[in-house]
Amino acid sequence: MTSICEIFCGVFLLLYILQPAYSFSSRTFVGKYFISNQELKTIKVQDWMGCLKHCHEEPLCISYNFDKGLSKRCVLNKHGIEDFIYADSDLVDDAGWIFHQLKPVTKRTNKSRNMIPCQCNCGSSNQCYPPPPGLGDVPEKAASSCKEILEQRRQAQDGAYYLQASPSYKVYCQMTPISDCGDEGGWTLVMKINGSKGTFRFSERYWKEQDAYYQEKYGGDLSEKETKLKTFQLTSFDDMCLGMKTLNDIKWVKIALKRGQQNMEMFPIFQKPYQFGFKEISKEKWEGLVESNLDDTQTDSGSNIRNDKAKVRIGILASKSYIGFGTGGAMGNISCGYVRTDTKQVQPTFGYILIR
Ligand SMILES: *[C@@H]1O[C@H](CO)[C@@H](O)[C@H](O)[C@H]1NC(C)=O
Ligand SMILES: *[C@@H]1O[C@H](CO)[C@@H](O)[C@H](O)[C@H]1NC(C)=O
Ligand SMILES: *[C@@H]1O[C@H](CO)[C@@H](O)[C@H](O)[C@H]1NC(C)=O
């Protein structure tokens, strides 16, 4: 099948090249995907020939990407490779695709060659040329983590970026450092928890299962809306940056996986039997999250900690108090925050879990 198409397509191409109206030789790249700032549309076609025909018949189509794999997707582009100053970086390696530029760029887009590249994506596309999308900016350039994006793009701003999965998805990346979590950014959002709600209590399935929760709606920012992202099972990490909102500001603390457990995902940590955990940090650091003190009894901290009155997915537990994320038990009915029974304090907080 494929070889028949390749012959047909070849003939078709030849006709193109021979047409006197086009003193333009079309360009075909196998194993490449062209990222256009303006895609006309994506359609499903039978084969390569179908994609070529669609682009030929659509007056605005300059080039197309054809997915050789099962999806047979055909992406029609308004642009050709001369349209981009950084043409090479827009033609990315992707073994499953074919890029084919059928027509020369139009006058309008050709003019843009004389423009200078913009320093930022700051609007007014008339005076300058938009920079090509970088790692994480478009689904085709999805990254494995926010850290990977920051390593390639030191100037990347805080915001939502595409991470790899099928299909890829948008995730909030904290690119600028959070001082209490060290002087490097590149943190990937995993969860946001409203301690007054029951969604992420200790016993809820979200800790044990892979389901996301309002990922598309609330996973792209730090707004106070509960979410759980696929990063829970897809993004591996060494360090975790935990935040709790008290009054108006968010307090943060950094914890690391135990030695020998680096580079793993959140998901297995909460699976029984519990065998993974975090390195100890001081009681004072945990207390800093809520600006309140635990009682003076012995504490246990890390992941999946419990006594007869309380259970904590991540946090610290004493006999009459705790500070934690994903909490439960008789001590207090909150899912995130601080509880101390001897002083009768129950302080639900809004919690953030980020990893790197
Ligand atoms: C586009 O620009 C190139 C180089 O500047 C020029 O050779 C070509 O004729 C232009 N094409 C059109 C369609 O204007
Ligand atoms: C958390 O949930 C409670 C109860 O539903 C709600 O009243 C409160 O506004 C929420 N907090 C935040 C910060 O959204
Ligand atoms: C605990 O809180 C949840 C969510 O706010 C609520 O649905 C539940 O009834 C509460 N349970 C108890 C024992 O108060």
Mean residue pLDDT of the chain comes to 87
User: What number is the average pLDDT over the span 42-70?
Assistant: 92
pLDDT at 79 (0 to 100): 83
pLDDT at 227 (0 to 100): 98
Atom in ligand 1 nearest the alpha carbon of residue 106:
13
User: What number is the average pLDDT over the span 56-78?
Assistant: 91
- Output 38-44 pairs: Cβ under 8 A, ≥24 positions apart: 38/77, 38/78, 38/79, 39/75, 39/76, 39/77, 39/78, 40/76, 40/77, 40/78, 41/75, 41/76, 42/73, 42/74, 42/75, 42/76, 43/73, 43/74, 43/76, 44/71, 44/72, 44/73, 44/74
Q: How far is the CA of 348 from the centre of ligand 2 (A)?
A: 10
Q: How far is the CA of 198 from the centre of ligand 3 (A)?
A: 7
**Confidence at 279, pLDDT banded by 50, 70, 90:** very high
* Number of helical H runs and strand E runs in the chain: 8, 19
Q: How far is the CA of 226 from the centre of ligand 2 (A)?
A: 9
pTM of the predicted structure, to 2 decimals:
0.69
Q: How far apart are CA 131 and CA 204, in angstroms?
A: 44
pLDDT at 40 (0 to 100): 85
Closest ligand (CA of 104)? 1
Structure confidence by residue, pLDDT tens digits, 293-314 = 999 999 999 999 999 999 999 9
Instruction: Confirm or reject: Cβ of 110 under 6 Å from ligand 1.
Output: yes
Q: How far is the CA of 103 from the centre of ligand 1 (A)?
A: 12
Atom in ligand 3 nearest the alpha carbon of residue 198:
4
**Confidence at 21, pLDDT banded by 50, 70, 90:** very low
The fraction of the chain above a pLDDT of 70, given in percent, is 83
Q: How far apart are CA 230 and CA 163, in angstroms?
A: 10
| Other beta carbons less than 10 A from residue 259's beta carbon | 7
Structure confidence by residue, pLDDT tens digits, 182-235 = 999 999 999 999 999 999 999 999 999 999 999 999 999 999 999 999 999 999
Q: How far apart are CA 246 and CA 221, in angstroms?
A: 19
Instruction: Confirm or reject: Cβ of 108 under 6 Å from ligand 1.
Output: no
Task: Choose between 88 and 317: higher pLDDT.
Answer: 317
Q: How far is the CA of 201 from the centre of ligand 2 (A)?
A: 15
Closest ligand (CA of 247)? 2
Q: What number of residues does the chain have? A: 356
Q: What share of the chain is helix, strand, coil (3-state, %, to 5)?
A: 20, 35, 45
**Confidence at 118, pLDDT banded by 50, 70, 90:** low
**Confidence at 88, pLDDT banded by 50, 70, 90:** very low
Phi, psi of 214 (to 5 degrees): 45, 45
Q: How far is the CA of 193 from the centre of ligand 2 (A)?
A: 10
Closest ligand (CA of 201)? 3
Atom in ligand 2 nearest the alpha carbon of residue 194:
1
Q: Is the pLDDT of residue 27 over 60?
A: yes
User: What number is the average pLDDT over the span 80-104?
Assistant: 75
Q: Is the pLDDT of residue 14 over 70?
A: no
Closest ligand (CA of 352)? 2
Q: Is the pLDDT of residue 70 over 80?
A: yes
- Is 172 in contact with 149 (CB distance < 8 Å)? no
User: What number is the average pLDDT over the span 167-188?
Assistant: 96
User: What number is the average pLDDT over the span 239-255?
Assistant: 94
Q: Which residue's CA lies nearest to atom 10 of ligand 2?
A: 194
Question: Which tokens is 22 given?
Answer: 């086009």
Give the binding-site residues of ligand 3, using a 6 Å CB cut-off.
197-198, 333
| Other beta carbons less than 10 A from residue 65's beta carbon | 26
The fraction of the chain above a pLDDT of 90, given in percent, is 66
Give the pairing of strands 63-67 and 73-77: antiparallel
pLDDT at 1 (0 to 100): 46
